[in-house]
Amino acid sequence: MTSSKFSFAFLLLFLLFFTITATNIISDTCKKCAQNDRTLSYKFCVTSLQAAPNSSSANLRQLGLISMKLVQHNVTNTKHFIKQLLKNKKLDKFVRVRLDDCLELYTDAVPTIKQVMKDYKSKHYRDANIRLSAVSGASTTCEDGFEERPGFVSPLKKRDNDTFQLSAIALSIVNMVSSSLY
């Protein structure tokens, strides 16, 4: 009986340590990301990475790939969301033209982020960095189009911002990994 209590206590301590360690790597990584990029939200970073499957057991290099998968998921979903919006026949011409532009940007971003992940896996960090910057730029360019009409609120504002934030997280991690011994 004493042996099983000891085993159970050891297991609980191990799980507690594992959870604290996993939380620390995400928190530490997000702190560094936010310090390196003042436009990045620490809270958004932590929330996004913690919500991702397998992030609790990831190291920095694995968090980089996880962050890229989050970008991929976001740009793919945004592309489909834009297609849905464009089905509305009553769209204002200004909005339709901007959504068409955004659809093209996000359509291009999908294969780009796939290539980013290949570059990252093969340790071609400079190429990954350049392509991630293009994905980030797509969200900014999309949003800028809607700002041409003063006071107009983009129907993609949150999605564009999320793409920008997720790309900034991935970029920051790529830079951390490339400057370390990974």
Do 36 and 172 touch, CB atoms closer than 8 A? yes
- Per the structure, the count of domains in the chain is 1
Q: What is the mean pLDDT of the chain?
A: 89
34-38, 114-118, 144-148 — which is least confidently predicted?
34-38
Six token digits for residue 136: 């980030």
Quick count: other Cβ atoms within 10 Å of Cβ 32? 17
Q: Kindly report, residue by residue over 72-99, the tens digit of the pLDDT.
A: 999 999 999 999 999 999 999 999 999 9
Categorize the per-residue pLDDT at 36 as very low, low, confident or very high, splitting at 50, 70 and 90.
Answer: confident
- State the CATH number of the domain containing residue 171: 1.20.140.40
57: domain range?
Answer: 2-178
Q: What is the spatial distance between Cα 37 and Cα 19, in angstroms, rounded to a whole number?
A: 27
Q: Kindly report, residue by residue over 137-155, the tens digit of the pLDDT.
A: 999 999 999 999 999 999 9
Q: What is the spatial distance between Cα 14 and Cα 31, in angstroms, rounded to a whole number?
A: 25
Q: Kindly report, residue by residue over 63-72, the tens digit of the pLDDT.
A: 999 999 999 9
Q: H helices of the chain, where?
A: 2-36, 42-51, 60-86, 93-121, 125-146, 157-178
